[in-house]
Amino acid sequence: MTRLKPPTAKLLAVTLSFLGLFISMHTLAQQHWGDVILDGARQRLITSVHTCQQYRIYIDVPTSQPPASGFPVLYLLDGDSTFSTAMQINRNKQRRTKITGYQSAIIVGIGYVATGRDMFAARTLDYTLATGTTTPAGAGGAELFLDFLETELKPIIGALQPINPTKQGIFGHSYGGLFALHALFSRPDSFDTYIAASPSIWWQQQAILHSISKGYQLEKNLLITAGTAEDKKEQRSPEIMAILALRKMLQPAKDLVAMLNAQPHSGKLQFTALIDEDHGSAKYTALSRALDFFLL
């Protein structure tokens, strides 16, 4: 039987000790993890009778007493990705109301139970407008989705807290921005304030522009944003460059605001260029601008 020399035995003991510590830490790392909870926020599922889709609805209600006119309400499309960010921005600014001048507002996120490709298909159907016989398969459900918002979701929110019917806004990004514009031009009384972040004006040969009646005069509040890096083609593959050429964001957004600004309008109209933001990051920067525009 070979007897270990003292240095070798000591090294073995240290190695076993570290091994035991590693196993212990690995086991600990696998335990005690739970779902992230947004304190004070709530959610529920709603299956729409209009769209036949199932939605995950998120809501954050101020802890303060409602004003005499009721709480303003901001509805967020793509709520699975926008709600938590907007909620935190809103809460942070409301903690300093004497400085910011912010009103307390209810934030409602409209998300999906579906995930991945199914979620993308669901939002494509809900957020795009019908264009007659040229409507692509799986698109063109914006009118039914607007019916859902107006006749199903809004009454549920209104039953929870006193709300201000003249101070309701909607935020949408990309296809969601396209939907916000469609709601504005087709049923303007649905909301008081519309925020279209990086709207997909390019969709179906700019069909949204053709839906605007001649001599249209804006009577609601409209904010359009776009990132200055959204259409940049540097260091992009030829495939991506081809897509960007067909799906321009920045200039069409500017052109739409200029067109609306050329007509008399009683609503507040604003375009904001988000410096160095691309299509993905512009959504989150736009949320802060949206809350300022809606609540100040």
Catalytic residue list: 174, 230, 279
Residue 23 in tokens:
């196993």
Burial of 99-127, coded b for 16+ CB within 10 Å and e otherwise, reads eeebbbbbbbbbbbebeeeeeeebbbbbb
Q: How far apart are CA 273 and CA 270, in angstroms?
A: 10
Show the tokens assigned to 182. 């469609």
The arrangement of strands across the sheet holding 269-274 comes to 42-47, 54-60, 106-112, 71-77, 163-173, 193-197, 221-227, 269-274
Please provide residue 84's backbone torsions phi and psi, each rounded to the nearest 5 degrees: -65, -40
Q: For Cα atoms 134, 137, 143, give the angle at the middle one, nearest 5 degrees.
A: 75
Q: Phi and psi at residue 194, in whole multiples of 5°?
A: -125, 130
Render the burial of 259-273: b for 16+ CB within 10 Å, e for the rest: ebeeeeeebebebbe
